[in-house]
Structure formats: structure tokens, C-alpha cells
Amino acid sequence: MDTNLPKTAHPRLVIIGCGFAGLRLAQQLKHDPVQVVVIDRHNYHNFQPLLYQVATGALEADSIAYPIRKIFAGQKNFFFRLADVERVDPATKLVHTNIGEISYDYLVIATGSLTNFFGIESLERNAMQIKSIPNALNLRSYIFQNFEKALLKSDPEQRQALLNIVVVGGGPTGVEISGSLAEMRRTVLPKDYPELDLSQMKIILVEAGPALLGPMSKKSQDDALRYLQNLGVEVRLNTGIKRFEECRAYYSDTEFIPTENLIWAAGVNGAALPGLPEATITRNKRINVNQWNQVEGLPGIFAIGDVANMVTEDMPKGLPMLAPVAQQQADHLAENFRRLAKGQQPEPFKYFNKGVMAIVARNKAVVDLPKDLHFNGFFGWLTWLFVHLMTLVGFRNKVVAFIDWAFSYWNSDKALRLIIRPFNRRDMKDDRGKRAAEHQAATPEYNPTPPAIQTPAA
């Protein structure tokens, strides 16, 4: 297939991925003498930090996504191809995609990350993830479908398994979604489901480590724990989910939490692409880059954002997978391209940490700033709202999100709880959009009779 990219006298820079990093880099190169070709498997930029709000009915999916072509309308050196990149070939300088091959002079890999199930096959098959807009819409539908099903069950244990929600992973995503679900249980569900006894519904946040919000300050960790407990979330620290089968989330070989709803927010891997030398890929599938974001040993190939593993003196495990890192690396790489074009030496990248934050619920958020400064509560919540509103792409999205938030603050409601695309496990797709195996359809409902214990053959 011909990808029909025009020939130009300028060098061609191919960027794979239009997330925070790829989008920013392509924008920064607007006036540079280079042909910018962006490839993404979606035709929209997705604002991942607000996915959990789509999953819990607080925001419309359209207000956290923006069409890529619209963002770049009028940028003359910009070309977009909707395609899935299958592999890169540094020897021939070709990117192989499902629409054909694209040649490059410079290549920037900005493919982000994929959910990491740590090789636990039953979780990969049965857990809900929250990494893309389809994931978030599936999750929303699935939870409300299960409430509708719970109404039809007379067996209390089966009903409870449909109502229970287990969130695995006590990082910002796990904390944010648990808080949002707990608010929904308090404000929305009693009005919608007066027939259900919601005291039966448990929201359980499971974290393998000794604290929530691992990289944040002790004060923020304690505040987040207290906020969640006050909202009635059961937090289980130092607990790992080992498998999830037949609607049982096992935290030891025999002990389990009965649930149909398990949300996996316990980690991500880099989305490194096939074709790069094995030595450049880390155990968690990130690409080793030097201080200039160049892939080790491959001049002309760069990686930025979540997929790039840049080790620094104060971050020996690599820079964190955060949107500001992705954006700062994009800004810096654009500047270095300009330096190189002028025959100057590129500058090493330095991450400027502006702080981290997590929201738990209405009027409750925690914020850590550099120099050990923290704040929380209402001001933390306002700061979180302001920063996220300002970073959303597009004026329309900012206005719609603001109206949705103002509406739910005013009447304690989350309006978006339609089951418009009923979720079926058979249709479940992974981060790459690949359909899961057919046998997922066979996942049975929760059966209160424990499964027979297998005895080894004599």
C-alpha cells in the first residue's frame, strides 16, 4: 500500500504516537524546515488523567479527546496517517505499519505504555483496565449492567458479587477511581436503585505495598487513606491479587473477595516497538535512552515520554511515567533538533518537577510541591481541577468539562450513566485494540458454592 506522503526537500521526521509527548513535539516543530509525519492508531489525542471520570460518569468521553487533524489544522509541515505501527527497521530507516511502509530521516518513538498484568493470565482475561476511552466506556457500562443484574438476583451472595468493586493498585489512578465510585455509591446509586441494599456493596482498594500513592509524601499518603476510609472504601495494604477466576479475586491461594468487577490499575509497561535491538529494551518494555533522548547506539532514533527509560542520578529507576515528563522531553528534543540544525551541541535533558497531585473526592485532594510543601482538602481539590482543566486540549473540551463539573458539584450527581454500548467480555479488546480470546465468553457468574479442590492424582 502507498502511504502517499508528499516528497519534500526537507528531512522527514516521523513521530510514532500522538499522546502528550508526540503531540507536543509536532506542535513545537511548526515553523521548522522539516516534514513532520505523525502516525497513531487513533485519530484523536486522549487525555488519560481524566479517563477515570469517564468511567464513573462524571465526564463525557468527547471532552477528554480531541481530533488530531483538528489540532494541526493549518500547520503546513504536518502530515498524519492513521495506522498501527508493527515494527521499525533502523537498518533501512523504515517504519512498517498496517497501511504500508514509511521512510524516515529521523524517528521519534512516543508510543506511551500498556497495562502490565505481570503475566497473570486470569487477570489479563477477566479484569477491566482503564487505559483508553473504549476501556473507560466499557467499565462504565459494565458496572451499571451489573447493578441492573443485581436487581434480578435473589441469592444475597450472588447479588453482592455483582455489587462489589475491587480496585487493584493504590497509585493515583486506583485512589481516584475508588474515591469517585464511593461518592457515586453515596449520592447517585441510592436515587437510581432504591430497591438495592447498598450497604451490601463494598468498594475495596487493594495495594501490594505498605502505603497508598507510593511516590508521594507521607502526609499525602495518610490524607488520601483517611479520605478514602471516611468515604467507606475498604483499603487493604500489603495485599496482592494473585488471580481472578470465576468472579473470585484471590489474595492468597484459598482466600478471595467475591466480585464481578475487578479494575486493574496496578501498573504499566512501556510500549516499546519490535525491531529495536534487544539490548535497548528494559525488563518493563521501556526503551533505554541517553540524556539527549537518543536510543542507545542508534543515531537518528529518539524515544520520549512513557516509553523512554531515562536514568538520572536522582532517579536510578528512570524518570516517572507522567505527562509533564513527556511534555518537557518533547520541548527539549525540539530545541535540540534546532541546535543540531545550527551545528551546535545538543543539551542534556533535565526534568523540572513541578509537583504531583491526586484527587480523592469532592473537596478532597492531595498536592505535593517541590521543597516538601504539601496542601490538601478544598485548596488541593481546586488546584487539581484548575490544572486539569487548563491542560485539556481544545476550548470546547475545557468548557464542556467545566460545565459537567459545575453541574455535578451543584447537585451531587453524575449525569452520564447510560449503558449505550453494553459490554460483553467476548468483545473485550486490549490496549492495542486486539480482540481478546473467544473463551472469555465462558467466564461464569459468581457461584457461592466454592470450586471443587483439585486433588493430585495418586
Q: What residues line the site for ligand FAD (CB under 6 A)?
A: 16-22, 39-42, 46, 48-49, 51-52, 84-85, 110-113, 130-131, 172-173, 271, 305-307, 321-324, 326
Instruction: Single out the residue of 4, 28, 2 nearest to residue 15, CA to CA.
Output: 28
Closest distance between ligand FAD and the C-beta of residue 272, in Å? Answer: 10
Closest distance between ligand FAD and the C-beta of residue 157, in Å? Answer: 31
Given a contact cutoff of 8 angstroms between Cβ atoms, the answer to whether 346 and 336 are in contact is yes
Closest distance between ligand FAD and the C-beta of residue 393, in Å? Answer: 11
Closest distance between ligand FAD and the C-beta of residue 250, in Å? Answer: 24
Residue whose CB is nearest to ligand FAD in the complex, by number = 19
Beta bridge partners of 39: 16, 81
The residue among 150 and 319 lying less far from ligand FAD, judged by its C-beta, is 319
Of 101, 124, 176, 183, catalytic: 176
Closest distance between ligand FAD and the C-beta of residue 46, in Å? Answer: 6
Closest distance between ligand FAD and the C-beta of residue 90, in Å? Answer: 16
Closest distance between ligand FAD and the C-beta of residue 136, in Å? Answer: 8
The residue among 182 and 358 lying less far from ligand FAD, judged by its C-beta, is 358
The residue among 182 and 304 lying less far from ligand FAD, judged by its C-beta, is 304
> 176 an active-site residue?
yes
For every residue of the chain, which 3-state class applies, written as one string? CCCCCCCCCCCEEEEECCCHHHHHHHHHCCCCCCEEEEEECCCEEECHHHHHHHHCCCCCHHHHEEEHHHHCCCCCCEEEEECCEEEEECCCCEEEECCEEEECCEEEECCCEEECCCCCHHHHHHCEECCCHHHHHHHHHHHHHHHHHHHCCCCHHHHHHHHCEEEECCCHHHHHHHHHHHHHHHHCHHHHCCCCCHHHCCEEEECCCCCCCCCCCHHHHHHHHHHHHHCCCEEECCCCCCEEECCEEECCCCCEEECCEEEECCCEEECCCCCCCHHHECCCCCEEECCCCEECCCCCEEECHHHEECCCCCCCCCCCCCHHHHHHHHHHHHHHHHHHHCCCCCCCCCCCCCCEEEEEECCEEEEEECCCEEEEHHHHHHHHHHHHHHHCCCHHHHHHHHHHHHHHHHHCCCCCCCCCCCCCHHHCECCCCCECCHHHHHCCCCCCCCCCCCCCCC
The residue among 107 and 150 lying less far from ligand FAD, judged by its C-beta, is 107
The residue among 159 and 364 lying less far from ligand FAD, judged by its C-beta, is 364
- Residue positions annotated with a catalytic role: 176
